[in-house]
A = this chain, B = another copy of it.
Amino acid sequence: MIVTFGTVALDTTRTPFKTVENILGGTATFNGIASSFFYKTGLIAVVGNDFPESYRKILQERMDLTGLTITSGKTFSFDSKFDFDLSKRTALKTEENVIKNFEPKVPEEYKKADFVYLGNNNPKQNTKILEQFDNPKITLCDTIEYWIQTARDDVIKMISSVKGIVLNDDEVKTLFKTPNLIKCARKILDLGPEFIVVKKGEHGSIFFSDDMIFPAPAYPLEDIVDPTGAGDSFAGGFFGHLARKGKIDNKILKEAVAYGNVMGSFAVEDFGINKFLLITKDDIEKRYKNYREFSTF
């Protein structure tokens, strides 16, 4: 099982073309739905009692919800705005609500999970929850600028305790105050992880390990509707493929990066998770095949 620990949110997203309010979002939502196409996925998250039943059903149809806590209060909500070319997002309002005092626990039936994904939560919380698992084969974490700026030591400690890390290019540059990605990647690997995947948004991603660099372009899209969740969906596709393969080697890791780019490309084609509600495993394999064909020379 893959267990994803992160937020389930109500997002308000404003693009130059359209605004949508209180749609289903959050890092664990995108990540878990994306990985669920590949492998059984369980969710650890909290929502308030205002969380719409229709959203809970969407999650339930795709994931095991034993680890989902519903508590009194309001669900975490995030209101943000994209600029004209969808390249820059400005946060307008973040309401932590029920997340604030959430003390996540790993359900008994999740403890034997082989694959654990730690979203961009408080790094201290990520490190703590990781200790509750028996002996996961692959652990993967993410983080954000905010934690790097306010809790760098905790971020470093978290990174030291996982097998792989998935980060945005800006974040990795901030973490080490170094503009060169290869130099940053080396520093990450020195901390302990076996690999790092740097996400570059519309420019794709680069995978680094001790013996491999794999730069992979983004899947080219003509119509991008809402970039929200692209990175978490990337991580979901990447992790999902590793999980279904059950092992790691350079070939599988490259394929996983490609699946990550494919899942990221689906995510941005509609608001929130809408696109994922319309696609099948076949659509994913088709796009993957297409991606591989045009990448090959």
Q: Which residues of B contact A206 (CB under 8 A)?
A: 217, 220
A208 to B229, CA, bound (A): 27
Residues of the B chain whose Cβ atoms lie less than 8 Å from the Cβ of A217: 204, 206, 215-217
Binding site for B on A (CB under 8 A): 84-87, 173, 179-183, 200, 203-204, 206, 212-218, 220-224, 251, 254-255, 257-258, 292, 294-297
Q: Point out the residues of chain B lying under 8 angstroms from A294, CB to CB.
A: 212-215
A288 to chain B, nearest CB (A): 10
- Which residue of the partner chain B has the closest CB to A208? B220
Given contacts A218-B215, A255-B297, contact A84 B182 (CB under 8 A): no
Q: Is the CB of A204 within 8 A of B215?
A: yes
Residue of B84, B173, B180, B258 near A179 (CB, 8 A) is B84
Beyond A215-B217, A215-B218, 7 additional pairs, beta carbon < 8 A = A180-B222, A180-B224, A182-B221, A203-B203, A214-B294, A214-B297, A217-B217
Q: Which of A179, A182, A206, A224 has the most CB of B within 10 A?
A: A179
Q: Which 6 A-B pairs have the closest CB atoms?
A: A85-B179, A215-B217, A254-B297, A203-B203, A182-B222, A213-B220
Residue of B nearest to A220 (CB): B213
A225–B84 Cα distance when bound, in Å, is: 33
Q: Which residues of B contact A215 (CB under 8 A)?
A: 204, 217-218, 220, 294-295
Query: Could you list 20 A-B pairs, sorted by A, with CB under 8 Å?
Result: A85-B173, A85-B179, A85-B180, A180-B222, A180-B224, A182-B220, A203-B203, A203-B204, A204-B215, A206-B217, A212-B294, A213-B294, A214-B294, A215-B218, A215-B220, A215-B294, A255-B297, A257-B297, A292-B297, A295-B297
